[in-house]
Amino acid sequence: MRVAIIGSGPSGFYAAEALLKRTDEVVHVDMFDRLPTPYGLVRGGVAPDHQNIKAVTRIYEKTAARPTFRFFGNVRLGKDLTVDDLRRHYHQIVYAVGNEADRRLGIPGEGVPRCTPATVFIGWYNGHPDYRHAKIDLSVSRVAVVGNGNVAIDAARILLRTPAELEKTDIAAHALEVLRKSQVREVFILGRRGPEQASFTSVELEELGEMEDAEPVVAPGELVGLIIPEAARSKQQQKNLKILQSFAERPLGTKSKKLHLRFLVSPTEVICGPDDGVSGLKLEKNRLEMQADGTVAARGTGEIEALEVGMVLPAIGFSAERISGVPYDEKKRVIANEDGRVIDPVSHLTIPNEYVVGWARTGPQGLIGSHKGASAHVVAHMVTDGTGLAEKVLPDPEAIINLLHKQGVQVVSFNDWKQLDDVEVARGVRRESPRDKIVDVEIMLSILGQH
């Protein structure tokens, strides 16, 4: 059985692991990624000061070391390879392409300089090649981060860490240089709904109280007007409220930078200043309304305030990119699927032998570990559906490499990646960090060319 997996993030690697562990069938997995480097958001999203989480890649290395696994980096589906190519060369296809597009606020002024989607900011500090030239101007003193998830917390924390805290991480060198000179002193994390509805995990929230030179500030007024009865609150809600309460009770300390957590406000307009960049954010105060289905909605009260900030980072979610030939669900903004089986979004008929895992299947929900079970669940469908499929004769396994070479693609193997990995780790020794990332694909390819 030959399977193509597109995307080398956690969901792709966990799907590969489940496929390669099959005992009823010998499965050959070819994994493609548009970047020369594997691991998706573990490399390009997870915050650099969370090195322990990035250590999960050791498990993926073990999967990659299996004899029936091949990695093809620097190959983009939709550009270097088409869905039809995949259908010709493989029995089954798994899309594991994540959520690489960001959701927009949809308010006036959103395009103004220094209103920068969190995707860009995060990609920039993590050395993602797409964002290495992003213009991140930290000459401003106050920043608003819009959103109430861990991504908002990550962005705020990186803005507020000291250079000494960041140096020892694998943050991109270009970002470290800009952050060293940062003038940012206050960050506001803004939530549309209340503290009970925030999707922060408690560990990330708690960490905000442990920064070297920045401290969380929660005005006591932010924690009134809770809507969920105490007995009905989830464990995470209880823990988060306790942490927020402890922040609210802290006397204002002496740390030089402040992180304000604010709830029940929706941005209505990005205000443009005399330098043509962000100078403020108009916010409408919200109230909460319990819906018949038990969900909690925010409703605008008409009360408007202007928050003086020089930069806005919207962190309100992601959606899957559209890839030519891959069915797309416009409503959910993911690859059209039913429980991981790809479907035609109009007829709802299953597209045979095509599957989707990870964020491309569900949208941006779930931590890295959650993909292990979720990808195995989809692989179970592949096993059920794939009876007899392996008998279909396919082109020679080398044919896909010849096809890519004919297209002029410099394919990066897993061994090539290991060489880049060694170079990055060696460069990191200079600043006593785990690695100093290479952020330019051309440079990566030229290093491999020299070898």
Ligand X SMILES: Cc1cc2nc3c(=O)[nH]c(=O)nc-3n(C[C@H](O)[C@H](O)[C@H](O)COP(=O)(O)OP(=O)(O)OC[C@H]3O[C@@H](n4cnc5c(N)ncnc54)[C@H](O)[C@@H]3O)c2cc1C
Binding piece for ligand X, criterion CB under 6 A, among 1-9, 165-173, 250-258, 421-429: 1-9
Question: Closer to ligand X at the Cβ: 145 or 283?
Answer: 145
Q: Which stretch binds ligand X (CB under 6 A): 43-51, 167-175, 280-288, 387-395?
A: 43-51
* Residue 3: both structure tokens together: 């399977």
In this structure, are residues 113 and 56 in contact, taking their beta carbons and an 8 Å threshold? no
CB-nearer residue toward ligand X: 140 or 156? 156
Q: Which range touches ligand X (CB under 6 A), out of 6-14, 249-257, 265-273, 383-391?
A: 6-14
278 and 311 in contact (C-beta within 8 Å)? yes
Q: How far apart are CA 100 and CA 323, in angstroms?
A: 11
As measured in angstroms, the least distance from the Cβ of 119 to ligand X is 8
Among 86, 96, 160, 423, indicate the residue that binds ligand X (CB under 6 A): 96
Q: Does 153 bind ligand X (CB under 6 A)?
A: no
Figure out which of the listed residues 1, 3, 4, 6 binds ligand X, where binding follows CB under 6 A: 6
Q: Using CB under 6 A, which of 18, 27, 77, 316 touches ligand X?
A: 77
Candidates 3, 32, 354, 417; binder of ligand X (CB under 6 A) is 32
Least CB distance from residue 272 to ligand X, whole Å? 27
To ligand X, the closest distance from the beta carbon of 274 in angstroms equals 33
Binding residue for ligand X (CB under 6 A) from 98, 117, 147, 216? 98
Q: Does 200 bind ligand X (CB under 6 A)?
A: no
Q: What is the Cα–Cα distance from 4 to 212, expressed in whole angstroms?
A: 45
Q: Is residue 194 involved in binding ligand X (CB under 6 A)?
A: no
Which residues 267-306 are close enough to bind ligand X by CB under 6 A?
A: none
* CA 263/CA 296 separation, integer angstroms: 14
The size of the interface with ligand X (CB under 6 A), counted in residues, is: 36
**Binding segment toward ligand X, per CB under 6 A, in 34-42, 232-240, 249-257, 377-385:** 34-42
Quote the CA–CA distance of 304 and 283 in Å, as a whole number.
Answer: 6
Instruction: Tell me the per-residue interface mask from 9 to 28 with ligand X, x by CB under 6 A, - otherwise.
Output: xxxx----------------
Q: Does 123 bind ligand X (CB under 6 A)?
A: no
Please give the Cα distance from 71 to 31 (Å, whole number): 5
Per CB under 6 A, does 317 bind ligand X?
A: no
Does position 358 bind ligand X by CB under 6 A? yes
Closest CA to 194 of 50, 92, 298: 298
Q: Which of 71, 359, 414, 417 binds ligand X (CB under 6 A)?
A: 359
Q: Does 73 bind ligand X (CB under 6 A)?
A: no
Task: Output the smallest distance, CB 369 to ligand X, in A.
Answer: 6
Q: What residue has token string 């929230």?
A: 205
- Please tell me whether residue 447 binds ligand X under the rule CB under 6 A: no
Q: Please, which residue, 93 or 283, has the CB nearer to ligand X?
A: 93
Q: Contact positions toward ligand X, by CB under 6 A?
A: 6-12, 32-35, 40-41, 45-46, 50, 53, 76-78, 96-98, 100, 122, 150-151, 154, 323, 358-360, 366-368, 371
